[in-house]
Each structure stands twice: as C-alpha cells, then as structure tokens.
Structure 1
Amino acid sequence: MTDHVEVTGRGAHHVVPDLVIVRARVQCDARDVASALTESSNRTAAALQAAADHGVEARDRRTDDVGIHPRHDQNGRKVIGYTAYQAFRLTVRDRDRVGDLLQALAGAAGDALAVDGIEMGADQTDEAVAGARDAAFEDARLRATRFAGLAGAELGKVLHIREGGADDHTPRPMMARMADFAGSMPIEGGTQAISTTVTVRWELT
C-alpha cells in the first residue's frame, strides 16, 4: 500500500450580507383542536399574503414548523383549550422594505404574530462556495505538509479528496457581528462567511 497522509482542512469565504431573514410565527388559542388549527392557518395565510403584497417572492416565503399542544388549568390537570402555531421564514431582498413588511404582517395576523428573529444573510453564490473550498484545500495542504515533514517525506499527488470531512460540513453561512437596522432594531450583519471542510489524501514520496 502506498504511504499517504490524510487531513481535513477548514476554509471560509467572507461575503457582504445583502439579505434580511425574518423568522416569525403565528400562535392561536381556542377551546378545541380544530378551531385552534383553523385560526392559526387562516392568520398564517393572511400574513404570507401580506408578505407577497410587499414584494416577498414565492421562493422567499417558507413555512418551517407547525404544531398544537393542550393548555391546562392552574392545577395542571384539566385541559382548558389548545394552542396551535405555525412558524414561517421570509427572505427580504430589499432591506429598506423590512419595516413596512413587519407592520403589514402585524396588521394581517394581529396579536397572534410573534417575530422570533431578524438577521442578515447572503446568497451562497458559486463564487463564494468555490472560495470556501479553495481555502479549505489550502488549509489541508499546509497541514499535510507539516505532517509529511515530521515523517521525513514530501507530498506527492492527491489520491483522494472529498468535501465534508470529519465534521461532515457542507458550505454553509456563519453569522457574525451585530449591526443596526432601521428603527434601531438589532440584526445580524457586518461580516458573513460561507464555510466548509475538505478531506484530502496525499501520496507521500
């Protein structure tokens, strides 16, 4: 078997966030399951329609989670009703429209609306993903070079390479520092990195 060294490198490509991600949910109470689910569904539909009316495209409107659970009396014994919820995520490509969008969502869903988070994001472009892979490969090469030196050998040809490695990472966004948003609302911004890992096996010569 050919002598070889296999290492995992990690790399990231930094990009300027240009999207706003709004994570919200609609939560409704009712005495029975059917009513709670119906009310939650209707208000969620109204909120999503409001988002569409304010320029959020269909590809940028996504429902994330739905559920229902019972509500009990103060003693925790008797079921007095049910709470149904529907979570959704909106990707806003025009940052200046977020304030108006939030008002529209509140108007459509009423007091059933809760905003769980607002943060900056960026598209994972081919260029950014390629940059992260290149950085990860270079990190792996430097590590492998050090190991080869300790063994009194040099790196030869690449025998095998795969993306993922020990941590099974694929290109993904990593949020960074806080930034200010319209109305002094804090959201994630500043720097964002598309990160990944690659595992590379080199022949030793």
Structure 2
Amino acid sequence: MTDHVEVTGRGASHVVPDLVIVRARVQSDAKDVASALTESSSRTAAALQAASDHGIEARDRRTDDVGIHPRHDNNGRKVIGYTAYQAFRLTVRDRDRVGDLLQALAGAAGDALAVDGIEMAADQTDEAVAAARDAAFEDARTRAAQFARLAGTELGKVIHIHEGGVADQIPRPMYARSADMAGSMPIEGGTQAISTTVTVRWELA
C-alpha cells in the first residue's frame, strides 16, 4: 500500500449578514379543540397574508411548529379550554422594513401574535462557500506538509478529498422589543462565518 498522510482542515469565509429572520407565532385560546385550531389557523393566515402584502415572497414565508395543549384550572385538575399555536418564520431581505412588518403582523393577528426573536443571517453564496473550501484545503495542506517534513519526505499527489459539510454559524440573536413598533427597526450585526471541513489524503513522495 502506498504511504500516505490524511489530514482534516478547517476553513471559513466571513460575510456581512444581509438578511433578517423574524420568528413569530400565533396562539389562540378556546373552550374546545376545533375552535382553538380554527382561530389559530385563521389568524396565522391573516399574518402571512400581511407579510405577503409587505413584500415577503412565498419562498421567504415558512410555517414551522403547530400544536395544541389543554388549559387547566388553578388546581390543575379540570380542563377549562385549549390553546392552539402555529409558529412561522419570515426572511426579510430589506432590514429597514422590519418594524413596519412587525406592525402589520400585529394588526393582522391581534394580541394572538408573539414575536419569539429576530436574528441576522446571510445567504450562502457560491463565492462564500468556495472561499471556505479553499481555506479548509489550504489548512489541510499546511498541516500535511508539516507532517511530511517530520517524516523526512514530501507530499505527493492528492488521492482523496472528502468535504465534511458547510456549517452556517449565525451571530448573536437580536430579539424583538414589541410587536407594535412602528417605522424601521434598527438591527446591527457583525460578520457571519460560512465554515466547512475538508479531509484530504496525499501520497508521500
């Protein structure tokens, strides 16, 4: 078998977040399951329609968790009603419109709306992913060359490459202050790391 060295390198490219992710939910109470689900569904539909009216495209509107659970009296024994909820996620491509969007959501869903959080994100462009791969390969090559020198030889040709995957690391989350905020909502974000690992095997000369 040909002598070889195999090394895993890590690399990242840093991009400025250009998207805002709004995570929200609609929660409705009713005496029976059907009414709670109907009310939650209706208000969620209204909120999503409001998002659409404010320029959030279909690809940027996504529903997440949906559920229902009973509500009990103060003694925790008797069921006095049910709470249904529907969570959704909106991707906002113009962050200056976040405040107006939150106001529109609140107007559509009323006091059933809860904003779970707001965070910055960035598109994983082909250029950013390629830069992360290049950095990971260079890291692996540098390590492998060092090992080869310690063994008194040099690196030969690459005989195998395996990418460990691209990981999207989102910076600190930014939470909404209130759902009835008017106007633009200032949101700041640092850089976001698009990272990956690459495992490379070289022949030893």
Structure 1 partner of 2:169: 174
Distance 1:188 1:195, change over 3 A: farther
What TM-score do the two structures reach when normalised by structure 2? 0.89
Deviation at 1:39?
0.9
Corresponding residue SS for 1:55: coil
Corresponding residue SS for 1:171: strand
Question: Do the aligned partners of 1:16 and 1:122 also contact (CA within 8 Å) in 2?
Answer: yes
Alignment of 1:37-116 (within 5 A): 37-116=37-116
For 1:78 and 1:8, how far apart are their aligned partners in 2? 58
Distance 1:82 1:186, change over 3 A: farther
Structure 1 gaps, min length 5: 165-169
2:196 aligned with 1:196: yes
Deviation at 1:186?
7.3
State the Cα RMSD in Å: 2.3
Distance 1:186 1:78, change over 3 A: farther
Deviation at 1:136?
0.9
Alignment of 1:3-14 (within 5 A): 3-14=3-14
- For 1:10, the aligned partner's letter is R
Question: Do the aligned partners of 1:67 and 1:84 also contact (CA within 8 Å) in 2?
Answer: yes
Deviation at 1:174?
1.5
Deviation at 1:177?
5.6
Structure 2 gaps, min length 5: 177-181
Deviation at 1:183?
7.9
Question: Do the aligned partners of 1:23 and 1:116 also contact (CA within 8 Å) in 2?
Answer: yes
Structure 1 partner of 2:179: none
Aligned length: 200
Structure 2 partner of 1:138: 138
Structure 2 partner of 1:26: 26
Structure 2 partner of 1:154: 154
Corresponding residue SS for 2:75: coil
Distance 1:109 1:184, change over 3 A: closer
Deviation at 1:203?
1.1
What TM-score do the two structures reach when normalised by structure 1? 0.89
Deviations 1:80-104 (A, max 9, x none): 2221111111111111111110000
- For 2:145, the aligned partner's letter is T
For 1:163 and 1:188, how far apart are their aligned partners in 2? 32
2:126 aligned with 1:126: yes
Question: Do the aligned partners of 1:16 and 1:192 also contact (CA within 8 Å) in 2?
Answer: yes
For 2:173 and 2:67, how far apart are their aligned partners in 1? 31
Question: Do the aligned partners of 2:100 and 2:183 also contact (CA within 8 Å) in 1?
Answer: no
Distance 1:54 1:184, change over 3 A: closer
